[in-house]
Amino acid sequence: MRIHPLSSDIPKPERFTYPFCYEPHPLCLKAAEEVKKEIERIGPKEGKMFGVLVVEEGDRSQESGDRSAYGFLAAYSGLLEGRNDWEYFVPPVYDAQQPDGYFKTREREIMQSAEHKEMSQDLQLWLFRQYRMLNARGEVKDLVEIWQDYHSAPRLREKYPLPPGGTGDCCAPKLLQYAYQHDLKPICMAEFWWGESPKSLIRHHGQFYPACSGKCKPVLAWMLQGLDVDPNPEEVGYQHQVPSIVWEDEVMAVVDKPSGLLSMPGKIGEYSVATWAQEKWPGAMVVHRLDMQTSGLLLVAKTEEAYHQLQAQFEARTVKKKYLAVVEGEPQKEHGVIDLPLSSDPLNRPLQIVDLVHGKRAITEYRTLTSVTGGRFFCYTGDVTKEPSPCYTLVALWPHTGRTHQLRVHCAHQEGLGCPIVGDELYGRKADRLYLQAQAIAFDHPVTGKRMHLELKEGF
């Protein structure tokens, strides 16, 4: 078997990892350190996602109470250096790379056929049927069945008729499949990136990441059945927080939204600035939005006329905003403009990617303000290569466009600042909060037309 020993007195978690939002368990950190040695021995030339799964062999450890009887499995997504047969790592769920196997033989035949497209689709469908995925109850479904059951609504079935190419070849499905096949009990799991980041995505060497949603979410929803899994931390709810009123008159207000409060009701909760505003001023409407973890200034209209007038200003881009952010490390330049087009990652929503071909133009001006050294900002240390940088920089950001996650991507991307915002779980590392604040806003009053400038005192 491909199981590796893991001697440790660390107690196991109460439940298995929720793979789409998690903090790596200490057992996974210990296992990842071992995997890192093997990766360095191989010396891959391209960046790759790797994963670890800590396991127990059947009921032996549970019956004996022996904490040291852990083991771990290791995996990589796709191919590693063009191979899928590295002995240290679990094998693929289905090996389509055999040169004399049906898939490769048929692929060569199709390349010489005039009906190339239709025959390729048939071969891809055949391939998906070979991925027969287990769950913790010992039940089996192939990828086509899993996909169609997950996207059962007619509209979703039409939008997602078949899995994307490469589904089933990511770390998490490979690890769980091998564990189930060999009567190994999954304890916890984690995935980390090793090597250079791709040009479009933001991946930091040695850092842990959640499983991808586009390919893995339907598959893991099936494979995790029968396991006691941690709840999704993004769905357990948040304490009700109250915005503070910065300025108001009879037709509008400017409020300071705390980090962790929704701007509008959403899937993870109904309580938001919008519901609070309607309770305080019946009929009030939030004019624009901030990400839940971003704090700062929001405009609230108390009348429908004021709402439409302020909305028109946003559409005309006459509303000007300034943000403050604390970023990891030090930007190379004191002042500059980042111009990187963005589009959504269809296989990993809600992430955005830098897309030079199809992306919408996104422009951010920045200026560094001051550096902070020491332990004021508490980054999660889920990095298998090094401790967090002791240096953080306060920067001012002026978005000239309003794309989704624009400031977060422009700060984190290697062709932007190359310095992720502290606490940015999507593009950087977890902390006690996201250190991004909408600190100042300028707009025309919807009744008087007077230019208004409001700002918060600098600091978080």
Q: What is the dihedral of CA 209, 214, 217, 222, to 10 degrees?
A: -140
DSSP string, 175-202: HHHHHHHTTEEEEEEEEEEESPPPSSS-
Helix (H, G, I), strand (E, B) or coil at 257: strand
Ranges of H-type helices in 295-452: 304-315, 406-412
Cα–Cα distance between 137 and 62 in angstroms, integer?
A: 18
* 366 CA to centre of own chain: 24
Take residue 452 and report the two structure tokens written for it: 């208004």
Count the helices and strands in the chain (H runs, E runs). 11, 19
Determine contact, residues 327/411, Cβ cutoff 8 Å.
Answer: yes
DSSP code of 228?
Answer: -
Name the nearest CA neighbour of 351 among 215, 236, 212.
212
Q: Which amino acid is at 29?
A: L
* 9 noted as active-site residue: no
Take residue 239 and report the two structure tokens written for it: 């304490």
The DSSP element (H or E) to which 275 belongs, if any, is helix 273-280
In sequence order, the 6+-apart residues with CB closer than 8 A to the CB of 154 are: none
Which one of the listed residues 291, 339, 424, 444 is annotated catalytic? 291
Residues annotated as catalytic are 291
